């Protein structure tokens, strides 16, 4: 018996000894499409089209080119491939999801890079770096010519010429490294350091004080 796959239109041959039941579940050996075939019938219902082996001898059979409608997908069976692209619909959906995930990751990385660039280029961060470079206590802890980490953490808040900023900056030198937590304030467009906290090589927590904001009592 010769069967024509309704999905790819290619011919499959099934041995006669397999036709012992009224129906038979078959799989196309070309595209993998599965369906159930009723013995001795030719129909446009979901399934393989059957026609006698007389087709090979020049008889009339059902031509695959005359078949227009695609069989509907059946749960639990392989999805037919798109005739234009040759790709199953589920595979195309997975590809779209993968592309969307890659775009989301790239956008997140771009936003992170932009945020870091804004922090490192801000006047508040430059004031913090200048304070660290000029601090004898911090240079004594890490060594001369301190270098700064690539990914500072922190935030900057400004409003009507005033503002505050907090940074956690990694500082490296010839003697070691430490993290400096800094607090700054802005007054009349100028950033000033309130405090800088770090740990020295002995493990002692050190606190350096700068200029207190105007209106505060004493050094914080």
Q: Is the pLDDT of residue 159 over 70?
A: yes
So what's the pLDDT on residue 5? 84
- The pLDDT > 90 percentage for the chain reads 26
Provide the pLDDT for residue 61: 43
- Look at residue 70 and tell me if it is in a domain: yes
Around 121, how many Cα atoms within 13 Å sit in the side-chain half-sphere?
Answer: 6
Best-predicted range by mean pLDDT (84-98, 166-180, 201-215):
166-180
Look at residue 219 and tell me if it is in a domain: no
Does any domain span residue 136? Answer: yes
Distances (CA, A) of 192 to 32, 134, 144, 208: 72, 14, 23, 13
Question: Is pLDDT at 190 greater than 80 in this prediction?
Answer: yes
Number of folded domains that form the chain: 3
pLDDT of residue 53: 37
Q: How confident is the model at residue 25 (pLDDT cuts 50, 70, 90)?
A: confident
The pLDDT value recorded for residue 59 is 42
Which DSSP string do the residues of 144-165 spell out, in sequence order?
SS-EE-S--EEEEEEETTEEEE
37-50: string of b/e by CB count within 10 Å (b at 16+)? beeeeeeeebbbbb
Beta carbons within 8 Å of 88's beta carbon, 6+ residues apart: 78, 79, 80, 81, 82
Taking 70 as the threshold, does the pLDDT of residue 52 lie above it?
Answer: no
Q: Is residue 127 part of a domain?
A: yes
Which domain, by its residues, includes 93? 88-118
- Judge if 106 and 186 occupy the same domain: no
Select the more confidently predicted residue: 26 or 31.
31
Q: Which ranges constitute the DSSP H helices of 9-145?
A: 89-120, 123-134, 136-142
pLDDT at residue 49 in the model: 43
Give the confidence band of 47 by pLDDT, cuts at 50, 70, 90. very low
Average pLDDT over residues 181-210: 90
Question: Is residue 166 a part of any domain in this protein?
Answer: yes
Same domain, 50 and 112: no
220 located within any domain? no
Average pLDDT of the chain is 75
What integer pLDDT is reported at residue 101 of this predicted model? 87
52, 58, 60, 62 alpha-carbon torsion, rounded to 10°: 70
Q: Which tens digits make up the pLDDT trace of 94-118?
A: 888 888 888 888 887 777 677 777 7
Percent of the chain at pLDDT exceeding 70: 67
* Domain assignment present for 177: yes
Task: Tell me, yes or no, whether 9 lies in a domain.
Answer: yes
Single pTM value for the model:
0.47
């Amino acid at each position: 018996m010769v069967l024509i796959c309704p999905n790819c239109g290619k011919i499959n041959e099934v041995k006669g000894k397999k036709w012992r039941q009224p129906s038979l579940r078959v799989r196309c050996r070309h595209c993998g499409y599965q369906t159930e075939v009723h013995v001795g019938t030719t129909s446009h219902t979901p399934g393989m089209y059957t026609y006698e082996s007389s087709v090979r001898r020049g008889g009339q059979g059902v031509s695959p080119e005359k078949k227009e409608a695609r069989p509907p997908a059946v749960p639990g069976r392989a999805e037919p491939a798109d005739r234009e692209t040759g790709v199953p619909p589920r595979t195309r959906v997975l590809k779209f999801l993968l592309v969307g995930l890659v775009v989301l990751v790239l956008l997140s990385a771009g936003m992170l890079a932009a945020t870091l660039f804004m922090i490192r280029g801000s006047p508040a961060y430059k004031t913090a770096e200048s304070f660290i470079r000029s601090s004898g206590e911090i240079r004594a802890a890490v060594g001369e010519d301190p270098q700064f980490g690539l990914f500072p953490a922190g935030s900057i808040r400004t409003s009507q010429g005033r503002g505050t900023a907090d940074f956690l900056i990694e500082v490296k030198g010839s003697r070691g490294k430490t993290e400096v937590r800094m607090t700054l304030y802005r007054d009349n467009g100028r950033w000033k350091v309130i405090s800088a906290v770090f740990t020295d090589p002995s493990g002692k927590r050190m606190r350096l004080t700068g200029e207190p904001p105007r209106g505060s009592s004493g050094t914080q």
